[in-house]
């Protein structure tokens, strides 16, 4: 299986990054072809200027072209991200805006009301970490980040989210509790 892990935490020493690294090691141990993409280390313009001319875009930054190739070749995509202000960091949104482009991830056809999903057949998993309790985000806030990622971004392109891991109250986890969480991956 070809697995792509996208880590959206800007700090490479973070708890989220530790989980990303553990997921990477676990998939390597299973013999999977696995790539870990730390968004904090790639070079791209986060703002998508010229959106109205998006169909005319013929060049992307080298790191984004590489990321598109990784997305295209992957069978399964795992996104690890902190949840801040009920959603994921801007770098992840910017990454999606700049990589999941028309002609790559989806395509509109004249006379059709629904887009063609160009990444159909791929699966995904979400690992969402927050200081708020997981039950609070899921049941009281209605899980806005997971919903947007599952339905409005990945689902729009044809990627089916199979599992969502919600890790809450991370600010109150001591080192031992964090290690227990990491070991679950």
User: Residue 61, Cα to own-chain centre: how many angstroms?
Assistant: 19
d(CA 79, CA 125): 6
What's the domain range around 103?
2-183
| pLDDT of 55 strictly over 90 | no
Task: Tell me what pLDDT residue 56 has.
Answer: 60
Nearest alpha-carbon partner for 81 in 42, 130, 44: 130
Cα dihedral: 131, 166, 157, 39 (round 10) = 50
| pLDDT of 50 strictly over 80 | no
Q: Where residue 17 sits, what CATH number does that domain have?
A: 3.40.50.360
d(CA 44, CA 42): 6
pLDDT per position as a tens digit, 130-159: 999 999 999 999 999 999 999 999 999 999
pLDDT per position as a tens digit, 117-137: 999 999 999 999 999 999 999
Task: Say whether 10 sits in a helix, a strand or coil.
Answer: coil
Task: Tell me what pLDDT residue 49 has.
Answer: 65
Task: Tell me what pLDDT residue 48 has.
Answer: 75
Task: Tell me what pLDDT residue 59 has.
Answer: 75
The DSSP letter of residue 54 is G
- The 10 Å Cβ neighbour count of residue 2 is 16
d(CA 185, CA 183): 5
Helix ranges (H only) for 15-128 are 15-29, 62-73, 90-99
- For the record, the structure tokens of 9 come out as 């935490």
| pLDDT of 58 strictly over 80 | no
| pLDDT of 86 strictly over 70 | yes
Nearest alpha-carbon partner for 92 in 114, 122, 59, 67: 67
Structurally, how many domains does the chain consist of? 1
For residues 65-69, give the mean pLDDT. 97
- The 10 Å Cβ neighbour count of residue 82 is 24
């Amino acid at each position: 299986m070809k697995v792509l892990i996208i880590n959206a935490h800007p700090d490479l020493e973070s708890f989220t990054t530790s989980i990303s690294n553990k997921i990477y090691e676990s998939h390597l141990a299973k013999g999977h072809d696995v790539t870990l993409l730390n968004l904090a280390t790639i070079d791209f313009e986060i703002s998508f200027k010229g959106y109205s001319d998006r169909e005319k875009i013929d060049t992307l930054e080298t790191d984004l072209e590489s990321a598109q190739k990784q997305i295209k070749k992957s069978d399964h995509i795992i996104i690890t991200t902190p949840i801040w202000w009920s959603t994921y960091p801007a770098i992840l949104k910017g990454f999606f805006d700049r990589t999941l482009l028309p002609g790559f991830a989806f395509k509109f056809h004249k006379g059709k009301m629904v887009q063609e999903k160009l990444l159909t057949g791929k699966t995904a998993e979400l690992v969402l970490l927050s200081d708020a309790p997981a039950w609070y985000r899921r049941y009281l806030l209605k899980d806005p980040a997971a919903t947007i990622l599952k339905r409005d971004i990945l689902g729009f392109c044809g990627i089916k989210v199979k599992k969502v891991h919600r890790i809450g109250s991370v600010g109150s986890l001591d080192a031992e509790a964090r290690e227990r969480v990491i070991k679950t991956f």
